[in-house]
C-alpha cells in the first residue's frame, strides 16, 4: 500500500512497487534527494532552549584519548562527579578501573534508591511507521506484517498484562501520525488508566500542546531515544520521515516537561556511532535539563542494537558487556539521582548483575510484536499478530523476573506513586 501524500510504502508482498524501489535507492545513494535533517518542517514547534548547544559543543570537543590513569583515579576520589570526572570515567583509560567504578556506583545507588528495582512492561499497539531508519524492523520499507490494535484489542492486551500483577506499562507505537495519531494514543492511555498505576509512552515526538493533552489523558512520563547525538551520522541512518529532523527530536523531552509531564527518559542507541560520545551527550542532556526542571523525574536507558526482521546482521559497534557496564557505572556516578533502565535487549545474566550495581528498572514479560501478549502469557495462539521491532534477549515473565530479583537480594517495586 502506498500513501501518496507522504511517499511512504507499507508492503505485504515480497516485492516493492517499482516506484518504491526507485525512491528507496535514491534515498540510500543520493543525499541531495533527502530532506535537510537540521531544518524544522511545517507543523513542528520550535522552542527557545540553550540545552542543545551546550550538549553538542561538549560532545564535539570530547577527546577521550586525552584522559589517563591519573584522571580516572582523581575522578574516583571525589565525593561528587563533575563533568570532567564523568568524561574521564567514560574514557578507555577507565577500563582497568571497572571494578572500583562498580563498587562506588553500587554505593551511590543504595544511597538514592535503596535496595529496590522497578519492574514494568512495554506494550506495542501499532507497528506502522512513516520513517526509513535503516536499523529498525518497523521501517517503512521493511516487508513485515503491519498491525494496529483496535481499542477493544488494546483493552484485552492490557487486561492480560494487568492480571499478572504488573502495575506499570510503557505504551509504544511505530512513528506514524497517519495510523497512530495523538487522539488514538490518548484513548489508549485512558484505557490503560483502568488497569495500571503508572503509564509511560514511547512514541514519535510531538508538540507541547499535544504532550499536554496526553498528560491530561493520563501519561506520567515520556521516553525518547535520540538514537545518536552525532547529527552527521544521524543523517545517514534516518533517510525519510519526520524522525529525520534531528533538532526536533532532541528537544522532545523538554517539550514534554513544558507540557506538564512528570518525567522524561533519555537514550542513545549504543552501537550506531561512537558510543562514548553518545553516552556523554545522553548524560549531559539529562544534566542540563535537570538544572532547568529540577522537579522532573529524569531517567536514562542504555539499549544496544539488536537483530531485526529481515536483517540479522544488525549488531552493536564496539559495545560489549564490559563497555556497557562502564557506561552504566559512569552514568550512576555522574547522575546519582537518575533512574537507569536496562531493557530485555540484554541477557538474563547481565541484567541480574547490573541491577545489583546501578540499574534501577527492568522490563519483564516483554514482546515487541503487536497483539501477542495473550499467546505469550497463556499459550493461546493468535494468528493476527504484527511483526516485532527487534529481537529480545531476556524473555523472562513478570513472575520469573520478580522471583529472580528477590533471590538476588533486591526488593521488586511495581509502583511508588499515589494520585491524590
Place of cell 561538549: 58
Whether the predicted pLDDT of 321 surpasses 70 = yes
Q: Please write the tens of the pLDDT for every residue from 141-172.
A: 888 889 999 999 999 999 999 999 999 999 99
For residue 275 the three cell numbers come to: 558510543
Residue 261 Cα distances to 136, 265, 272, angstroms: 27, 11, 29
Percent of the chain scoring above 70 in pLDDT: 89
pLDDT of the residue at 313: 56
pLDDT of the residue at 104: 98
| Structural domains present in the chain | 75-413 (3.20.20.70)
Residues whose CB is less than 8 angstroms from the CB of residue 106 and which lie 6 or more positions away in sequence, other chains included: 356, 357, 358
Phi, psi of 48 (to 5 degrees): -95, 110
Please, are residues 108 and 87 in contact by the beta-carbon 8 Å criterion?
no
Percent helix, percent strand, percent coil in the chain, to nearest 5: 40, 15, 40
Cα 251 to Cα 40: distance, rounded to the nearest angstrom = 12
Cα 37 to Cα 152: distance, rounded to the nearest angstrom = 38
pLDDT bin (cut points 50, 70, 90) of residue 10 is very low
**Helix axes of 151-162 and 182-192: crossing angle, nearest 10 degrees:** 30
Whether the predicted pLDDT of 188 surpasses 70 = yes
Whether the predicted pLDDT of 13 surpasses 50 = no
Whether the predicted pLDDT of 318 surpasses 90 = no
H-only helix segments in 16-150: 18-29, 51-61, 69-77, 83-90, 98-113
Q: Please write the tens of the pLDDT for every residue from 25-76.
A: 999 999 999 999 999 999 999 999 999 999 999 999 999 999 999 999 999 9
pLDDT of the residue at 19: 82
pLDDT of the residue at 9: 38
Return the minimum-mean-pLDDT range out of 123-137, 216-230, 284-298, 351-365: 123-137
Average pLDDT over residues 349-353: 96
Whether the predicted pLDDT of 5 surpasses 90 = no
Please, are residues 220 and 339 in contact by the beta-carbon 8 Å criterion?
no
- Identify the CA nearest to 1 among candidates 20, 23, 28, 29: 20
Q: Please write the tens of the pLDDT for every residue from 265-289.
A: 999 999 899 999 999 999 999 999 9
Distance separating the N- and C-terminal Cα atoms of the chain: 47
pLDDT of the residue at 315: 61
Residues whose CB is less than 8 angstroms from the CB of residue 342 and which lie 6 or more positions away in sequence, other chains included: 301, 302, 328, 350, 351, 354, 355, 359, 361, 362
Whether the predicted pLDDT of 115 surpasses 50 = yes
C-alpha 274, offset from chain centre: 18
Phi, psi of 148 (to 5 degrees): -125, 125
User: How big is the chain by its Cα radius of gyration, in Å?
Assistant: 21
Amino acid at each position: 500500500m502506498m500513501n501518496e501524500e507522504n511517499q511512504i510504502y507499507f508492503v505485504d508482498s515480497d516485492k516493492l512497487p517499482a516506484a518504491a524501489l526507485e525512491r528507496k535507492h535514491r534515498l540510500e545513494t543520493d543525499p541531495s534527494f533527502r530532506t535537510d535533517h537540521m531544518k524544522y518542517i511545517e507543523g513542528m514547534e520550535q522552542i527557545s532552549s540553550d540545552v542543545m548547544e551546550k550538549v553538542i559543543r561538549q560532545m564535539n570537543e570530547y577527546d577521550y584519548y586525552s584522559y589517563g590513569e591519573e584522571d580516572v583515579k582523581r575522578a574516583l576520589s571525589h565525593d561528587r562527579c563533575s563533568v570532567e570526572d564523568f568524561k574521564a570515567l567514560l574514557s578507555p583509560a577507565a577500563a582497568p578501573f571497572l571494578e572500583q567504578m562498580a563498587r562506588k556506583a553500587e554505593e551511590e545507588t543504595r544511597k538514592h534508591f535503596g535496595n529496590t528495582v522497578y519492574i514494568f512492561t512495554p506494550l506495542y499497539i501499532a507497528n506502522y511507521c512513516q520513517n526509513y531508519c535503516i536499523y529498525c524492523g518497523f521501517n517503512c520499507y521493511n516487508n513485515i506484517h503491519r498491525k494496529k490494535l483496535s481499542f477493544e484489542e488494546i483493552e484485552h492486551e492490557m487486561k492480560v498484562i494487568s492480571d499478572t500483577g504488573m502495575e506499570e506499562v510503557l505504551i509504544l507505537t511505530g512513528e506514524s501520525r497517519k495510523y497512530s495519531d495523538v487522539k488514538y494514543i490518548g484513548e489508549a492511555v485512558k484505557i490503560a488508566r483502568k488497569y495500571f498505576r503508572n503509564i509511560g509512552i514511547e512514541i514519535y515526538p510531538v508538540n507541547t500542546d499535544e504532550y499536554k493533552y496526553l498528560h491530561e489523558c493520563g501519561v506520567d512520563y515520556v521516553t525518547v531515544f535520540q538514537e545518536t547525538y552525532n547529527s552527521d551520522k544521524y543523517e545517514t541512518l534516518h533517510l525519510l520521515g519526520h524522525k529525520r529532523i534531528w533538532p526536533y527530536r532532541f528537544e522532545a523531552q523538554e517539550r514534554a516537561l513544558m507540557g506538564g509531564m512528570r518525567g522524561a527518559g533519555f537514550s542513545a542507541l549504543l552501537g550506531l556511532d561512537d558510543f562514548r560520545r553518545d553516552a556523554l551527550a545522553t548524560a549531559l542532556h539529562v544534566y542540563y535539563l535537570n538544572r532547568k526542571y529540577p522537579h522532573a523525574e529524569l531517567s536514562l536507558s542504555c539499549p544496544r542494537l539488536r537483530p531485526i526482521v529481515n536483517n540479522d546482521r544488525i549488531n552493536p559497534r564496539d559495545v560489549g558487556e564490559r563497555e556497557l557496564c562502564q557506561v552504566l557505572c559512569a552514568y550512576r556516578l555522574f547522575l546519582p539521582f537518575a533512574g537507569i533502565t536496562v531493557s530485555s535487549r540484554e541477557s538474563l545474566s547481565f541484567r541480574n548483575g547490573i541491577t545489583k550495581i546501578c540499574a534501577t528498572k527492568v522490563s519483564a514479560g516483554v514482546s515487541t510484536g503487536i497483539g501477542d501478549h495473550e499467546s505469550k502469557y497463556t499459550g493461546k495462539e493468535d494468528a493476527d499478530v504484527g511483526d516485532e521491532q527487534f529481537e529480545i534477549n531476556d524473555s523472562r515473565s513478570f513472575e520469573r523476573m520478580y522471583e529472580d530479583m528477590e533471590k538476588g537480594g533486591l526488593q521488586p517495586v511495581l509502583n511508588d506513586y499515589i494520585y491524590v
